[in-house]
Structure 1
Amino acid sequence: MSRPRFIRLIGTCLLVLLSSAGAAFTPEPSESELDSKTRYNDPLPTTVLVRVVAHRSLVLGHDVGGARVTMTDVASGQLLASGLQQGEPGDQTQIMRTPHLMDEPVYSARPAASYTATLELTRPTLVEITAEGPLAYPNALQRASTTVLLIPGHDLTNDGIVLHLYGYLLQIEHPKPGEPLIAKEDVMLRASVRTLSGALVRPHSDWDSRKIHIYAELLIGDQIVERLQMFYAGEKSRFEAPFFVPIAKDAPDGITLRVIAADTATGNFGMGTAQYPVLSERLRPRKN
């Protein structure tokens, strides 16, 4: 046998021996590695924070009754969590006046109301998050929802998932709803206008009433018989306009006053209504 051929044969044998030795000494997986693999399908706690805010305003806190938040598994329809958002409306300067970069917190930089739930998830889950509020004002109740893909073990905190509710809180303060009105009397209509978070609407404020169309309508049945432009009354968030009560025979079932606030720039609209009987007598009925 020639020397080169002999050397090649020896090299092949050594390669086979080394391969066999390597296979023989492959380390077995450790107990910790085996244990981690068996836990791949275990549920992982996943914390989700939700904030319900009035659009272009503050967070819905205890001043307006907060908001109700629900989380539902989109695929199965199973309710995953439900609860109330309570707390402070947040820092007005930080939210309304301070410039922010995209990744900077807006609502969580200072104490502000929120709702937090910890879900036990075993897989990526598409969740519908729904908010309703403000709970202290059922006539102004608004609803918003969004869908979010949640990943087990990956928390959503800081500002969290922010849901915006559109609208205004409008309350007729005078005359009191249901109070009998005397025909042909000159009455001053007064109403308050606030954002859904309870912030005051007034001139030269963060919620400038000069940019909002605030007016009232007097209705008999379902027909508008007069439209009234309302003006700031000089205190808090009150607006007013005078009107004449129609004669009783023209309004046998009474009248309705409807106050409207409309801001087309922000998409915020609100309405408050009240009904009143109309009396032809000059004297108001005695109170019991």
Structure 2
Amino acid sequence: MRLIILLLSLTLGIMAGFSAQAEPTEISIHVLSKDAKFIGSSMGGMRITLRDAHSGEILATGLTTGGTGNTKLLMHKDGGRRAVIVDKTAGGFHTTIDLDEPRLIEVEAKGPMAQMQSAHRIVSSQWVVPGKHITAGNGWILELPGFVVDILSPPAALKMSSDTKVVKISANVVMMCGCPTEPDGIWDSSKFEIKAIITHNGKKDGTLDMVYSGPKSQYTTSLPIDKPGLYEVTVYAYDPSNGNTGLDKTTFQVLGK
């Protein structure tokens, strides 16, 4: 019995020794909208999850909060980015985890959470050593590609009378950070391709150019109706300079006579 107690005491002592070696390690995660600014509270934040890449153990989770960052730090008038782009105005997720050994940590970012029709996920990983914080400079930045495209009209599953001749299609198109798009703006939509793909009863029925209508970030087109049936509308935004792409879909039905 004494031997068992002694072994148990030694085991607990060793475990306590390992626990005492754990060091608080600070990590700051920022998610940058491709070709734009940081994704923070105005877009519902990004859901951040830190895992041990080998075991899958979840180490921390939460939302990015805060602003979109400093435009002057982020954007050159002729394109490109500066070396340090994070300041106190940049939204992020900040956490402290206890590490007792180096771990390969995987970060997953999903969102933006307030625009789920445009949300998707990105994953990044890197080694983190106990006590060696990932906070200096820009911290740990992930870049989220895409546009937030939100079809405003027609609403989904709308049924229209057989007398319908024209359907107005309108959409709001912003960067993933919520930054506005407009012709000749910082995010110059005259350089983007914004179109509506139309299908009728499951078959492609043409593509329409979306035209800037104002206020900022809003685009419209008109779809002539010459036959009843089920229509699906896919509005997409595409930047040919870097491949950035986003879209949204809706459906409506024109009833027969």
Question: TM-score range with shorter-chain normalisation?
Answer: 0.7 to 0.9
Residue 222, structure 1, aligned to residue 202, structure 2: yes
| Offset of residue 179 of structure 1 | 2.4
Q: For residue 148 of structure 2, what is the amino acid of its counterpart?
A: L
Residue in 2 that maps onto 1:119: 97
Q: 1:150 to 1:220 in 2, by over 3 A?
A: same
Aligned counterparts, 1:163-202, within 5 A: 163-183=142-162, 184-202=164-182
Matches within 5 A, 1:1-288: 42-97=21-76, 102=83, 105-108=84-87, 110-158=88-136, 159-183=138-162, 184-248=164-228, 251=229, 254-280=230-256
Question: Which amino acid in the other structure matches residue 245 of structure 1?
Answer: I
> How many residues are paired up?
237
Look up the match of 1:14. Answer: none
For structure 2, list consecutive stretches of 5 or more residues without a partner in the other structure.
1-16
| CA drift at 1:225 | 0.6
- Matched residue SS, 2:55: coil
SS of the residue aligned with 2:108?
strand
Asked if 2 retains the 8 angstrom alpha-carbon contact of 1:181 and 1:245, the reply is no
Contact 2:73 2:82 survives alignment (8 Å): no
One-letter code of the match for 2:248?
G
Return the offset for 1:231: 1.1
| Structure 1 ranges of 4+ moved more than 4 A | 38-41, 98-101
User: How does the TM-score come out when normalised to structure 1?
Assistant: 0.77
Paired position in structure 2 for 1:33: none
Greater strand fraction, Structure 1 or Structure 2: 2
Unaligned runs of 5+ in 1: 1-37, 282-288
Q: Deviations 1:142-163 (Å, cap 9, x if unpaired)?
A: 2111111111111111421000
Q: Give distance in 1, aligned partners of 2:156 and 2:183.
A: 27
Q: TM-score, normalised by structure 2?
A: 0.85
Distance in structure 1 (CA, Å) of the matches to 2:53 and 2:32: 23
CA distance in 2, matches of 1:169, 1:185: 29
Alpha-carbon distance, 1:212 to partner: 0.8
For the pair shown, the structure with the greater C-alpha radius of gyration is: 1
Following the alignment from structure 1 to structure 2, what is the Cα–Cα distance between the partners of residues 101 and 86? 22
**3-state SS of the aligned residue for 2:125?**
strand
Distance in 2, matches of 1:225 and 1:67, equals 36
Q: 1:262, CA displacement in angstroms? A: 1.1
| Amino-acid identity (%) | 27
Deviations 1:3-31 (A, max 9, x none): xxxxxxxxxxxxxxxxxxxxxxxxxxxxx
